[in-house]
Structure 1
Amino acid sequence: MGPCGALRRGLLGLGLLGLGLLLGAVCGAAGELHTMRYISTAMTDPGSGQPWFAYVGYVDGELFMQYDSNTRRFVPRTEWVKAAAAVDPEYWEWNTRNGQGQEQVDRVDLVTLQRRYNQSGGSHTIQWMYGCDILEDGTMRGYSQDAYDGRDFIAFDKDTMTFTAAVPEAVPTKRKWEEDRTFVEARRQYLEETCVEWLQRYVEYGKAELDRRG
């Protein structure tokens, strides 16, 4: 099973397979050697006792870290990432703060998008997937895409440093983000540099386990 097949299986186990369109946009391409994907999901109606917000990380289709609005902490989900040499001392605290920040952003965005779509209630979902791939020919690929209610909403093109609005309701978001050049540059730098550096590090420390799963 390739990285995307394993990722789909993992998302099904977490009840997050509604990411269909996002996954279809970045999965199935030939030549993937290693992949890293982060996925955040925010829901207005998650069900009794279920977290309304979840944030997960995958390397080569394996879940290695997870955050949700019930625990409000990022926790390791695989043994290799627990190794002292695998991550920096402040790694989990930093990621927890990042998760809490994204949770608050999505809380506001759920309200904003319901207003923008003229929706007064019902079940609605915001999903964001971003990450990077190392391809077999040695090249890198980075991506960042958002969906609303299971449909493409907006995507980032790191080469042109612009956002593509998939629907009219995404145009205000596109304008706001593109006007903030610091935000745009930070996203490009993460996808082209930071993401790849961490993927290489994770693959190094998780090599034995990831090879077995592959």
Structure 2
Amino acid sequence: MAFGSKTSLAPPKLMAGLGPTLTLLLVSLLVRAAPADIDIHSLCYTYKIPLESSSGQPWCDVQGQLDADNFLSYDSGSDTVKNMSILGVILSATETWKDQIEMLKEAGNLFRQSCPDIKLENLADRGAGSVCLQVMLTCQRISSGNIYGFWEFGRNGQIFLTFRPESEKWEMEHSRAKSLKEKWEKDSDLIKFLKKMSMGDCKRWLKAFVEHQDRNGNYERRRKQ
């Protein structure tokens, strides 16, 4: 399954098979085309972590998107955060922004510690070049007002595991991830952290960012310029 194909404002099964570019485009169209009384939003963070780090190579890169707007970039190698759009500038003035950065760093450290669990020979294809762990956290608020989140783990654009925090279930998308799935299913600390970040932190950030964005009435006009 293509990495990021579940990043949607529609039910995940309806979006299966779409690549990340088409999915993000659809998210943007759904958000902008929705009636004013339907408050639907999506917040997504994508990690890229080299499994074989060379000297000077950052061990973690994070991209943040709100409603398909790439607003944040974090490079752990230089420990720098960049605002990638007008939206990023607006959101960086909030207290939630600071909390978000600290949690993104903590998650990056956790994923880095989990990298030894990932066997390169099981995930790498011949001739595929360097292998990077890709992790995507997605929180979505649908038209009913409910917010749900999930995690996707993959490499080179392909998902191998999905974690559903509400049920604490790991869904194996690729047979090569069987041993990793079995190991992480027994890691109570990892599961606790993933649940906290997806069911607590990410939902809170999404609400706060949308409310702050709504208070800046000129954002949409400036965005379209």
TM-score w.r.t. structure 1 length? 0.70
Distance in 1 between the 2:52 and 2:70 partners? 24
Q: 1:172: which partner in 2?
A: 179
Trace 1:124-135 onto structure 2 (pairs within 5 A): 124-135=131-142
* RMSD of aligned Cα (Å): 3.4
Contact 2:9 2:141 survives alignment (8 Å): no
Superposed CA offset, 1:126-175 (max 9, x none)? 21111201111111121100112322210012232111122222122212
User: 1:27 Cα deviation (Å)?
Assistant: 2.5
Q: 1:27: which partner in 2?
A: 8
Task: Name the aligned partner's letter for residue 203 of structure 1.
Answer: V
User: 1:93 Cα deviation (Å)?
Assistant: 6.4
Q: Which runs of 5+ in 2 are unaligned?
A: 12-29, 32-39
Of the candidates 72, 81, 89, which is equivalent to residue 79 of structure 1?
Answer: 89
Contact 1:106 1:126 survives alignment (8 Å): no
Distance in 2 between the 1:100 and 1:172 partners? 22
Q: 1:114: which partner in 2?
A: 120
Trace 1:191-210 onto structure 2 (pairs within 5 A): 191-207=198-214, 208=216
Q: 2:106: which partner in 1?
A: 98
Superposed CA offset, 1:185-208 (max 9, x none)? 332233222211111101111223
Distance in 2 between the 1:104 and 1:37 partners? 19
Instruction: Give the 3 Å change call, closer, same or farther, for CA 159–88 of structure 1 in structure 2.
Output: closer
TM-score w.r.t. structure 2 length? 0.67
User: 1:71 Cα deviation (Å)?
Assistant: 2.2
Distance in 2 between the 1:202 and 1:105 partners? 30
Instruction: Give the 3 Å change call, closer, same or farther, for CA 42–194 of structure 1 in structure 2.
Output: closer
Contact 2:96 2:208 survives alignment (8 Å): no
Superposed CA offset, 1:54-113 (max 9, x none)? 211111222222112542333443211221xx125954762574365257347646xx43
Contact 1:74 1:96 survives alignment (8 Å): no
User: 1:26 Cα deviation (Å)?
Assistant: 2.3
Distance in 1 between the 2:138 and 2:41 partners? 11
Instruction: Give the 3 Å change call, closer, same or farther, for CA 101–186 of structure 1 in structure 2.
Output: closer
Question: How many residue pairs get matched?
Answer: 189
Contact 1:57 1:63 survives alignment (8 Å): yes
